[in-house]
């Protein structure tokens, strides 16, 4: 009888260690230790396959670089890093990744802020192939700058799911100020990616056959020094079914989204960027050159099945620009209220354009929501294609749609050959 009482007494702390967070979504073994480093060291020795572990952080901490969630011979391990009692901040002390998530491990961020460095060499969080990151409401990845690389906040070769939280104030010298998806997959179900910057993809860059799926959330206030203020798809596919991409700036093409390509050392295209829009809103973005909302260039492709592209501004193509050797197919959705400085208030085309559905408004048909080409004084220009302007100098064929192209209006144009069909105005 005494032996049974002793057993129950010793087992009680272990049972109590399996806890759940305030919202009841996270449970697991509460890892012992007075600091985060002590808890990480405990995991190196004690983590087991199929284990679910919780690392509670009760005070702000500073941690050294390149902490690895890697456990040789173990698999299917979930580790939840969460702030206890309040949101807690973990700050990186020296250059490198703060965390590296390796094969067989899922890292979950709850109510915790990861803060990087202003002159770092790497992404703050590195997700290796076979590893996974999940961000929930209350989590944040902030203030990290990669001086020579891509992926200011997160570099994804594995799987990244963003259900909530914030990725902001990060910067990359090359691609993906907030997130760079390199051969992995990124699913955005919520949260905000804001105020990041990079050469391509101020918010998000898709590289090396990567996949980005956006169903909800917001990508806003990001800046690219080249293409894709919000998102740049350089090699892979971006599928948008919901959410908002707004208030981003590109110093070249694609204020909201750029679908372009990656080029190898020889200068030839090493991969194509594809953008599929099934829903959501791309609004109030700005591009210095082509495509205030969406810029398609260098063999990229854009398919619009639904959604809204509205209130964007660009020099050519306030809503969408389609460069030579690229393609834009529109079967649904709405392009309205965009402004171009030169040509194509709604859409500017040099490449291949096919419209079988959806609506592209014209200025004269409805000045409240119509697309417009206007000069620096805000006066609407004539013969500039308020809805669509299509032209390629090689074929010398110009087509314009000034009035609204509604859902029943079919249009096609191929700049390189000069062929066209449909209900053009001129």
Burial tier of 329 (Cβ tally within 10 Å: 0-12, 13-18, 19+): middle
At residue 382, the pLDDT reads: 86
What's the predicted TM-score (pTM) here? 0.93
Q: How far apart are CA 321 and CA 332, in angstroms?
A: 17
DSSP string, 224-272: EEEE-SSEEESSEEEEESS-EEES-EESSB-SSEEE-EEE-TTSSEEEE
The residue behind tokens 């979950």 is 108
At residue 369, the pLDDT reads: 79
What does each C-alpha distance from 292 to 185, 250, 346, 353 come to in angstroms? 26, 8, 10, 17
Burial tier of 310 (Cβ tally within 10 Å: 0-12, 13-18, 19+): buried
Mean pLDDT of the chain: 92
Helix, strand and coil in the chain, % to nearest 5: 5, 45, 45
pLDDT in tens, 67-82: 999 999 999 999 999 9
Q: How far apart are CA 344 and CA 331, in angstroms?
A: 19
Question: Does residue 367 sit in helix, strand or coil?
Answer: coil
And the tokens for 327?
């393609």
Sign of the four-CA dihedral 406, 300, 396, 370: positive
> Counting runs of H as helices and runs of E as strands, what totals does the chain give?
2, 51
Q: How far apart are CA 176 and CA 184, in angstroms?
A: 14
Q: How many Å is the maximal CA-CA distance in the chain?
A: 97
Q: How far apart are CA 157 and CA 181, in angstroms?
A: 6
Quick check: 308 pLDDT over 50?
yes
At residue 136, the pLDDT reads: 98
Segment among 4-13, 176-185, 217-226 with least mean pLDDT = 4-13
Please report, rounded to a whole number, the percentage of residues in the chain having pLDDT higher than 90.
Answer: 86
pLDDT in tens, 3-17: 433 333 333 333 334
Question: Does residue 11 sit in helix, strand or coil?
Answer: helix
Q: How far apart are CA 282 and CA 222, in angstroms?
A: 13
Please report, rounded to a whole number, the percentage of residues in the chain having pLDDT higher than 70.
Answer: 91
CA dihedral (122, 163, 231, 262) in degrees, to 10, reads 60
Mean of pLDDT values over 93-103 = 97
Mean of pLDDT values over 137-160 = 96
Mean of pLDDT values over 256-269 = 74
pLDDT in tens, 363-384: 865 556 799 999 877 788 888 9
């Amino acid at each position: 009888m005494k032996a049974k009482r002793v057993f129950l007494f010793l087992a009680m702390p272990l049972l109590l260690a399996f806890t759940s967070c305030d919202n009841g979504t996270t449970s697991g073994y509460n890892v012992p230790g007075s600091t985060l480093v002590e808890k990480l060291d405990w995991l190196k020795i004690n983590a087991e396959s199929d284990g679910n572990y919780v690392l509670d952080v009760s005070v702000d901490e500073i941690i050294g670089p390149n902490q690895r969630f890697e456990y040789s011979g173990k698999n299917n391990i979930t580790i939840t890093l969460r702030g206890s009692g309040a949101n807690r901040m973990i700050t990186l002390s020296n250059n490198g990744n703060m965390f590296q998530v390796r094969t067989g491990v899922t890292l979950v961020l709850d109510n915790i802020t990861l803060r990087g460095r202003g002159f770092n060499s790497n992404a703050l969080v590195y997700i290796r192939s076979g590893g996974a990151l999940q961000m929930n409401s209350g989590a944040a990845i902030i203030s990290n700058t990669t001086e020579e690389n891509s992926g200011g906040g997160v570099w994804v070769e594995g799987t990244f799911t963003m259900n909530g939280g914030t990725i902001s104030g990060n910067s990359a010298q090359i691609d993906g100020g907030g997130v760079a998806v390199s051969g992995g997959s990124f699913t955005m179900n919520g949260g905000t990616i804001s105020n990041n910057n990079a050469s391509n993809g101020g918010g998000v860059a898709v590289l090396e056959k990567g996949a980005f799926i956006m169903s909800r959330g917001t990508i806003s206030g990001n800046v690219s020094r080249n293409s894709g203020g919000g998102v740049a798809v350089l090699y892979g596919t971006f599928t948008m079914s919901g959410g908002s991409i707004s208030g981003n700036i590109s110093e070249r093409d694609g204020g909201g989204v750029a679908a372009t390509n990656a080029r190898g050392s020889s200068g030839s295209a090493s991969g194509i960027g594809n953008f599929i829009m099934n829903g959501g809103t791309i609004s109030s973005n700005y591009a210095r050159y082509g495509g205030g909302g969406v810029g398609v260039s260098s063999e990229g492709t854009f398919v619009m099945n639904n959604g809204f592209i509205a209130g964007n501004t660009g020099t050519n193509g306030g809503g969408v620009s389609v460069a030579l050797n690229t393609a834009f197919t529109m079967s649904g959705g709405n392009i309205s209220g965009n402004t171009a400085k030169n040509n194509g208030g709604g859409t500017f085309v040099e490449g291949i354009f096919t419209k079988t559905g959806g609506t592209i408004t014209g200025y004269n048909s409805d000045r409240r929501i119509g697309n417009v080409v206007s000069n620096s004084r805000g006066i609407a220009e004539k013969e500039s294609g308020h809805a669509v302007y299509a032209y390629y100098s090689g074929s010398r064929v110009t087509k314009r749609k000034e009035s609204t192209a509604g859902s029943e209006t079919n249009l096609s144009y191929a700049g390189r050959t000069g062929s066209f069909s449909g209900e053009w105005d001129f």
